[in-house]
Structure formats: C-alpha cells, structure tokens
Amino acid sequence: METRKVQLSGGTTFTVSLPKSWATEQNISSGSVLYLHPEDDGTLLVEARTQQTDEECWKRLDVSGYDTEMFVETVKSMYLIGVDELVLVDRNGYTQDRFETATSLTSGLSGLEILEASDTKLVFKNLIDPTSISVHKSVTRMKLIVLAMYRDAVQAVVDPDRSLATQVIQRDSEADKLFYLVTRQFQRALDDLQTVEKLETNRSELYEYYHTARQFERVGDHATRMARLVAERGDDLEGIDTEEFARLADNSRRIVDRAADAVLTDVDRTTAFSVLSDATALSDAVAELDRELYDREDADGAYVVGLLLDSVRRTAGYGRNVAEVGVQGSMRKQVDSFDGR
C-alpha cells in the first residue's frame, strides 16, 4: 500500500498523484482519461478502462480431442466468467452427439444460443444484456423455486408419491439455470466495475446475493436427493412413521425462508439471530431422531429415513449460512451509517 498527500490546485480542486509504476503498467500518460467509482463505504476506485474490450468478451479455443465432460465444462465455465461469444474449433470434426450436447447446454444457460454450426466450428453467443438482469429478482425467484421443490419433495416422502417426486427432479434444472445466471453476473462484476453500477447495487450486496443463491442451489439439490430416494426406494418407506420427519422438514424449510428475508428484504436482524438459534435446535432434534433409527428392525427403511434426515439437517444448515450473511450485511450497514459520535 502507498500513501499520497492531497493537494489543493487552483483554490477549488483537490488533486492526488498516481503511483508511477501502476500508471506505466496501465499505459497511462498525460491526457489519459481515468474513471472514478465512488463507493458508499468511502472507497474511491480508479479504473483505467470503461468496460471489457471486445477481445476479452470474445474467446476462441481449440477443443480437438476434448471428451464430452471437458467440452461441457469449457462451455459452462466460459459462460460463468462472462464471455459473450465463444468459438470452439474441433479439427477432427463435430459428431452428431456433440452437436446434441451443445444444444442441450444452451437450454440450461440463460441467454446462450448457437449462432453458427459447421463440421469443425461451433459459435456460442450470449444474447442477454447483463445490465437488464436484476440479481435481486433472480435470487428471489430462485428462493421460491427451491422452497416449492423442497415442500413437494417432503410431501412425496410422506405419501409416498413417485409422480410428485419425478416432478421435483425435473424442476432442479430451473433452479440451476438461475444460479448460473447469478454467478455470471457476479463474475462479470468482479472484472468490470461498470457492471456493478449498471446493476444498481454494490459489491458487498452482490456478494451477499451470490452467496445466498449458492445456498439455495444446495437446498434444491437436497430436495432433488429426497425426491430420488422416493422414486428409487419408495418401497422402503412403507410402514415408516414419517410424521416427525415431516415436522422437522417443515421447520427446516421455514428456517431457509426466514433466513432469505434477512438478505432479500428489510426485516430486522433479530430475524436472522432467531434463525441461527432455530437451526441449532433443529440439528439437535434431527440427531436425536437419527439415533432412534438404530433400534428399528427395518434396516432398509431406517437407512433411507436416515438419508432423508441428513438432507433436512443440511437444509437447515444452508439456512444458517444465509442468516449469517444477513447478520453481516445488517452490521455492515450499521457501521457505514455510523457518524463517529
């Protein structure tokens, strides 16, 4: 870290010198234009560029010899880090299976389309303007989706209902799609300060939204996990008393719901504190019920219920993680508003 003394120039303007080494690295000279980004926390960010260059938003890669997993991860990763146009060249030629894989990828990543396809080249293009997306609304919608998935998964366990379980499994891709979109916005904002301003948020809030979305994605995964247990091992649940499981699962869902309010709304932070306490109590209750399973004669049923209880406990833990972010955000706002008196 370097320090600079503020000077008064012309009686009306404050000036401060730039570190020469940094200015040289950024090709800054007399007459160069810099872009200043004042932050609410008193930080002033200095940027030598206004936005990502076309070269940075466009990438060309040779994927000759890539297997399917490598191909999928390449496309997904480029999308998540904010690349707008991706050209993938395969000198060996694309197979029909690879074309189908590429098409499937576009259905799971918001805004991604295939603009050009030939025997040796695929061109992916993101058609969504990043500044037209509300990260707050995306995370809020994600919350509604995963909580509905979780509620239906629990109901599928209680009934048990394989048809409802299958519906839950099918909705998991919708939650993932929103999470990828939020991740892309977050990654772009890390590299481009203009994106943060256009999203009408700040870096701290954007991190909170991303972290919250990550927890929601995990809740959705566990709703899917429970649904798969019903679909694949529903017979093992017959004769099992699921009343206590349903009660704990419903409490777990409410923990996530209330924790989300601590981040996405203006509720008092006492809500977040109460979530932390409730999550601890639920974890203890799940552990006690899990110990009782060892006394059951039906080993297969007890095993499946144990897996279901693990998902309930983990879901409450994700709610705890969200609540902790809510507390931190509330404390940060209090510190930012402190006037020093």
Residue 341 has pLDDT above 50, yes or no: no
Q: What is the pLDDT of residue 273?
A: 94
Q: What is the pLDDT of residue 54?
A: 46
110 neighbors 180 (Cβ within 8 angstroms): yes
Residues 264 and 261: their CA atoms lie apart, in Å, by 5
- The answer regarding whether domain 54-126 maps to CATH 2.40.50.140 reads no
Report the half-sphere exposure of 45 (CA within 13 A, side-chain side).
16
Tens digits of residue pLDDT in 200-223:
778 888 999 999 999 999 999 999
Where do the structural domains in the chain lie, given as residue ranges? Answer: 7-47, 54-126, 132-337
Q: Which tokens hold the place of 330? A: 């509330």
Superfamily of domain 132-337: Phosphate transport system protein phou homolog 2; domain 2 (1.20.58.220)
Tens digits of residue pLDDT in 250-282:
999 999 999 999 999 988 788 999 999 999 999
Q: Which tokens hold the place of 220? A: 């959705």
Residues 94 and 214: their CA atoms lie apart, in Å, by 34
Q: What is the pLDDT of residue 323?
A: 96
Residue 51 has pLDDT above 60, yes or no: no
Tens digits of residue pLDDT in 287-303:
998 888 777 767 888 88
Q: What is the pLDDT of residue 121?
A: 97
Residue 50 has pLDDT above 60, yes or no: no
Tens digits of residue pLDDT in 95-149:
999 999 999 999 999 999 999 999 999 999 999 887 788 999 999 999 999 999 9
Residue 227 has pLDDT above 80, yes or no: yes
**Across 53-77, average pLDDT:** 88
Sort 42 into a burial class: Cβ within 10 Å, 0-12 / 13-18 / 19+: exposed
- Measured in degrees and rounded to the nearest 5, phi and psi for residue 32 equal -65, 150
Q: What is the pLDDT of residue 139?
A: 97
3-class secondary-structure state, position 205? helix
**Across 60-89, average pLDDT:** 96
Tell me how far CA of residue 153 lies from CA of 139, 218, 322, in angstroms: 21, 14, 21
Give the residue ranges of DSSP H helices in the chain: 20-25, 54-57, 68-80, 96-108, 135-158, 162-191, 193-198, 203-233, 243-264, 270-292, 299-337
**What's the chain's length in residues?**
341
Only one residue has tokens 């609410």, namely 40
* Paired strand residues for 121: 89
Sort 227 into a burial class: Cβ within 10 Å, 0-12 / 13-18 / 19+: buried
Query: Which residue in 133, 269, 245 sits closest to 195, CA to CA?
Result: 133
Residue 4 has pLDDT above 80, yes or no: no
72 neighbors 108 (Cβ within 8 angstroms): no
Task: Give the chain's mean pLDDT.
Answer: 88
